[in-house]
Amino acid sequence: MAMVFGLLLSSPAHAAGPAYVALGDSYSAGNGAGNYDSASGSCHRSFSAYPYLWKNAHAPSSFADTSCSGAVTTDVTNSQLGPLNASTGLVSLTIGGNDAGFSDVMTTCVTGSDTTCVNRVNTAENYARNTLPARLDATYDAIRAKAPNAKVVVLGYPRVYTLNVFCVGLSDTKHRKIDEAADVLDSVMAARAAAHGFVFGDVRGTFNNHELCSGDDYLHSLVISPSWESYHPTATGHSSGYYPVLNANS
């Protein structure tokens, strides 16, 4: 009996995952993934977005999702950090695209000429290189101050288009320039994340050959209603594009 009792004592209980807080913009919230939490209102948080997929798989000791559609870095700092504390073990976020005006980039490129698109992307890239780093630094500093013990995973943005394939819609020039913008944004985010000791989760690999024009898209193209789903990951984009990267880096 003593041996049996000893064996019972030696069998560890299933440990809960770390206290987890999800922050960020529409790519974190899950615009485009469907299955929306009606209580989240215009933040359009989805139960099929990568934070909920991680939560469901790992049973964290606590979970909070304050991500919101349209958020910029100052929104994270000013209104999303409430759940963070010294017990927080994991933080994830995608932020920066709205600061650089990526939504306006897509609108301009869809409605304007090649030249207009290229010029608008150049403006966004200049912002990403010259202004965004300080904004990311301030946001990352605020996260670390509130959650000093957390592992922080910064997830980037996918390229939007598969290149060198026939695709009805925007021109090849626009496709290439929009993808270039995503690369610039990701490079800036990766550098600032590394400077703060955070992990950068690069989703361009998992989205490779699943961008628009691939024939197996993980992203929505232009959506008429609701328009805010346009150029955002689908539910599959979250489950097969974002979640594996967060899971591998958490």
| Residues that are catalytic | 26, 232
> In the chain, which ranges are continuous DSSP H helix?
2-10, 26-29, 50-58, 73-75, 102-111, 114-130, 132-146, 172-195, 204-207, 235-236, 243-249
Identify the burial level of 244 via C-beta atoms within 10 angstroms of its C-beta, where 0-12 means exposed, 13-18 middle and 19 or more buried.
middle
Q: In what order do the strands lie in the sheet with 63-65?
A: 63-65, 20-24, 90-94, 151-155, 199-201
Residue located via tokens 């009792």? 5
Q: Measured between alpha carbons, how far apart are the two ends of the chain, in Å?
A: 41
Neighbours of 172 (CB within 10 A): 15
In 3D space, the residue among 109, 107, 129 whose CA is nearest the CA of residue 118 turns out to be 109
User: Are 189 and 202 in contact, with CB atoms under 8 Å apart?
Assistant: no
24: amino acid identity, one letter: G
Beta strands in 120-243 (DSSP E): 151-155, 199-201
Is omega for the bond preceding 51 within 30 degrees of 0, making it cis?
A: no
Phi, psi of 152 (to 5 degrees): -115, 125
